[in-house]
Chains A and B, each alone.
Chain A
Amino acid sequence: MIAWLKGLRGPKRPGFRITKVRLAAQTFFFLLFLFFVIITDLRYLKGYPVSLFLELDPLVGFATAATTGTIYKGLILCLLLLVPTLFLGRFFCNWICPYGTLHQLIGWLFGRKDEVTRIDSNRFRKLQGLKYVFLVMMIVMAFFGSLQIGLLDPICLFHRSMSTAVLPALNEIFPDTFYVKQAYHVGAWAIGFLLLFFVVMNVYVPRFFCRVVCPLGAFLGVASRFSLWRIERDPNTCIDCDACLANCQGACDPHTQLRKSECFVCMECIEDCPVDALSFQFMPNRKHEIAAPPVTGRRVAMASVLGAAGYAMARSAGASDKNFSKKVIRPPGSLKEDEFLERCIKCDQCIRACPTNVLQPTLMEAGLEGIWTPILNMKIGYCELNCTMCGQVCPTGAIQRISIEEKTGMGRHAERGPVKLGTAFYDRGRCLPWAMETPCVVCEEVCPTSPKSIFSREVTITKRDGNPITLRQPYVDPSRCIGCGICEHECPVKDHAAIRVTAIGETRSTERSLLMDGGDPTSVLELVKKKR
């Protein structure tokens, strides 16, 4: 035990290499991540915990606790990562993180090969302090109630990229691999290009994202300050050859005072040391380390001001309040907009899980704060009545995990009625029976509520050629309409449907309701009496 506590030394036992164990773990978690991404599909999803990586993410747990004062359901699992980090350091970055593994793989495939260049490229850079600036900005915004960590959190970023950009792109090249019908994602090129940018940067700066940008890495870097184990160099044995830098992933200066916050615990240095001067030690000499993250108090203060200003300026544009967009139709079970912004991490798991492809990442519709959060686009899909997939995979509860009964207002939820996403409105000038003497009412046919929210009245009109025609003209009953958008999706006036759903009437917010108490005073009165 004592010998073990003393530390793991380098290649003592022939055959056993700790880096091989690490590679096996990395491969396992990378494949597990891809497995979860691919099976997040109604055909395959059989209760697998597909949002597990997001739930394990301590930054997601911490930041949502900052915005809401709660830790939603599975997010409690983030302790499984946070606690070991407090003892072992940032091991997550090089043992588990699938996005880190991607960058390591790319660097290995396309990076520089000669050792001298690699040693130089793996020295600590001051630029690595930048990720702490991002982290502080995002945490400050979180305490104000705006959750922006998902923009750069590697798990959110990787999930989002896979769901909206990579899988649809692969399916374009290899049709029918991931989807029954090609999935489309509005503005996904921007998400895809960001992924490609970070991937390509590995060629110039190895693990650029992990070292310089990653706010989760920065969060774990702060946590690793408390770690009891770390890489330790015996300065009496060290011959100052710098070979330990050849494969160093974190650029944490193992050849001198170790920068604890930057070390990924990849253990490459231990194996690269020709004289066994490096080991993974329990409570080593404090003078051999730099425990604090490479960011000054003044930078932290600047980042805090930037975060507060960024929050206030974005929020005061009014997109989440008075100037809300009619296009911001949120998935069923979504919290009201300000609470939604406290929880949505833009991981876009809902978009991946959505079987109709109706969920789309926003660009500016929901304001700057809402970028890449999910909204419904009825041109592409519609909200399936008996489906709550988005809420089932949402790790943070931005979309609450409501049941079908709660969504449709059935059974014991009948009294308060269904969850409404918005309300459908006719554009009579574009509607075939209203404007073009042509029978249609597909909208009424597909309307899934019972009784139907769309009804029609039979009229006989005299056509242009003088002959009479009897057809049905449709209407919306706003007290019944749930805003699912299937009417808009199926309307034959494809480019700009003759019936369109807008966000007004959504039940998640009283500020955006259309009818007071559902619009039928007699039924409301009966309900009130029943309650009494």
Chain B
Amino acid sequence: MATNRDEIDPDPKGMSRREFVQQALITGSVTLGSIGLAAKLWQRHHVVPGFEEKQGISLPSYRVDGSKVLPDLSVAHSLDRVTAIRAAVDNLGGMDRFIRKGDVVLIKPNIAFDRPPALAATTHPDALRVVAQMALEAGAKEVMVADNPINSPAGCFLKSGLEAVADELNLGLLYPESSAFESIQMEGEILRHWPFFHRPFQKADKVIGLAPCKDHNLCHASMTMKNWYGLLGGRRNQFHQHIHSIISDFALMIQPTLVILDGMDVLMSNGPTGGRLSDVKRVNTVVAGTDMVAIDSYGFTRLLERDVEKLEYLHKAHRRGLGTMDWKDLKLKEVEA
């Protein structure tokens, strides 16, 4: 029978003292280590899944100190988008009022859909370019652009012209990658915990909202308040169950430095996606300011030409003191540029 017998030590005695101590130490420490680790990791209580206490981040205010002299709301009319945007911001005291030298600036355009700029469903690349340039002229160290679109991000960024502008001005373009989200926490009417596109906010000192002015199938209008929808992740399709509460909660969620409503080309119908040039109307107006509620109130009345009484989210935000619908009461400067 073939057996495999190795030459082995004939000494039948046990271990040497040295080996004995070594073995005892190893076994002893492994034993104590396992017991200690197990005791440390021991979870004695159960949870009720889905009902755990939730934690989340909250955003600081990005507003700059208000001015007693300068206007809070500015409207500029021009045949040229760049001229209109520059005039609208200049009315407010210029970009220097909002951006300090060395600031990191986040611009939040609305690039929700994979549409070419002419259909007015997204922030126009010329608007993005001029706002970024103004921020850089004011001394911004870095300008970032971020959005979490409804359609696929790569397609939206490419076809809206956003990516070309970002390349041209060397802006930081942030994609909504899974790791870029963190849970945000607030005492909203509906919104209390939600996945939030937090990565750009880890660096940003100032936040500018740059929104197109659009019709919306459910909430009537998508303007500067609705633009922040693009900072949230998760199951956004549930927002439609309480759309007006949610949009008013956005005014609680974020206090931006500056918001600009680009009403050069207004999407009057089939919103928020549009799709035909006949859905778009040339209005040649840009509104800028710090009060989103006032700007959207102006936009709904003057640009979309609708009855502001029907825009429930504005009323909700107004009632909660998150802004004022009565834009006529604000210091307003209107120019033809």
Contacts and interface: CB of A to CB of B under 8 A. Distances in A.
Contacts of A256: 3-6, 8
A506 B19 CA distance: 58
Interface of A: 61, 65, 69-73, 76, 78-79, 82-83, 86-87, 120, 123, 226-228, 234-236, 240, 242, 255-257, 281-288, 333-336, 339, 391, 397, 400-402, 406, 413, 416, 419, 506-511, 513-517, 519, 521, 524-525, 528, 532
Interface centre among B39, B43, B47, B234 (most CB of A within 10 A): B43
Contacts of A400: 46-49
A333 to B, nearest CB: 7
A513 B194 CA distance: 13
Given A228-B27, A400-B49, A285 B11 contact: yes
B245 interface: yes
B239 to A, nearest CB: 7
Most buried by A among B19, B34, B239, B241: B34
Nearest to A402: B48
B8 A257 contact: yes
B187 interface: yes
Interface in B54-92: none
Nearest to B11: A285
Contact of A516 (B15, B49, B50, B242): B242
A286 B43 contact: no
A516 B44 contact: no
Contacts of B277: none
Contacts of B37: 65
B50 A287 contact: no
A227 B28 CA distance: 10
21 contacts: A65-B41, A76-B38, A79-B35, A86-B31, A228-B24, A242-B1, A256-B4, A281-B14, A282-B14, A283-B14, A287-B8, A335-B49, A336-B49, A400-B47, A406-B48, A506-B50, A508-B49, A515-B238, A516-B238, A516-B239, A517-B190
A416 B49 CA distance: 12
Nearest to B246: A516
Contacts, number: 146
B23 interface: yes
Contact of A513 (B1, B10, B31, B235): B235
A161 B141 CA distance: 65
Contact of A532 (B41, B46, B187): B187
Contacts of B14: 281-285
A226 B30 contact: yes
Given A227-B27, A419-B48, A287 B190 contact: no
B23 A228 contact: yes
Given A285-B14, A511-B235, A255 B3 contact: yes
A79 B235 contact: no
Interface of B: 1, 3-6, 8-15, 19-20, 23-24, 26-27, 30-31, 34-35, 37-39, 41-44, 46-51, 187, 189-190, 192, 234-235, 238-239, 241-242, 245
B42 A86 contact: no
Nearest to A234: B12
Contact of B3 (A86, A242, A401, A509): A242
A72 B43 contact: yes
A524 B24 CA distance: 62
A402 B50 CA distance: 12
B12 A401 contact: no
Given A69-B41, A284-B14, A525 B3 contact: no
A87 B35 CA distance: 14
Nearest to A406: B48
Contacts of B41: 65, 69-71
Q: Which of A227, A228, A513 has the most CB of B within 10 A?
A: A228
B241 A519 contact: yes
* 9 closest residue pairs by CB, A with B: A287-B9, A70-B43, A507-B50, A400-B46, A516-B238, A508-B49, A226-B27, A401-B46, A508-B50
A234 B8 CA distance: 11
Contacts of B19: 283, 286
Contacts of B48: 333, 400, 402, 406, 413, 419
B235 A510 contact: yes
Contacts of A76: 38-39, 42
B46 A82 contact: no
A399 B14 CA distance: 50
Given A79-B38, A510-B235, A516-B239, A283 B20 contact: yes
Contact of A285 (B15, B27, B187, B238): B15
A221 B190 CA distance: 55
A46 B60 CA distance: 55
Task: Kindly name the residue among B10, B47, B50 whose own CB sees the greatest number of chain A CB atoms within 10 A.
Answer: B50
Nearest to A284: B14
Nearest to B13: A285
B101 to A, nearest CB: 41
A508 B50 CA distance: 4
A508 B44 CA distance: 20
Contacts of A123: 3
Nearest to A72: B43
Contacts of B51: 416, 419, 507
A374 to B, nearest CB: 15
Contact of B44 (A73, A519, A528): A73
Given A284-B15, A507-B51, A525 B38 contact: no
Contacts of B235: 510-511, 513
Contacts of A507: 49-51
A402 B47 CA distance: 7
A530 to B, nearest CB: 13
A87 B43 CA distance: 27
Given A73-B44, A257-B6, A521 B34 contact: no
Contacts of A521: 189-190, 242, 245
A123 B187 CA distance: 70
B187 A525 contact: no
A232 B246 CA distance: 74
A83 B189 CA distance: 54
Contacts of B35: 79, 83
Contacts of A509: 50
Contacts of A70: 41-43
Query: Which of A283, A336, A391, A511 has most B Cβ within 10 Å?
Result: A283
B39 to A, nearest CB: 8
Contacts of A234: 12
Given A401-B46, A416-B51, A513-B235, A236 B12 contact: yes
A528 B43 CA distance: 31
Contact of A288 (B8, B241, B242): B8
Contacts of A514: 238
A235 B24 contact: no
Nearest to A290: B6
Given A65-B37, A283-B24, A524-B190, 10 more contacts: A79-B38, A226-B30, A283-B19, A283-B20, A283-B23, A285-B13, A333-B48, A510-B235, A521-B245, A532-B187
Contacts of A419: 48-51
A65 B40 CA distance: 11
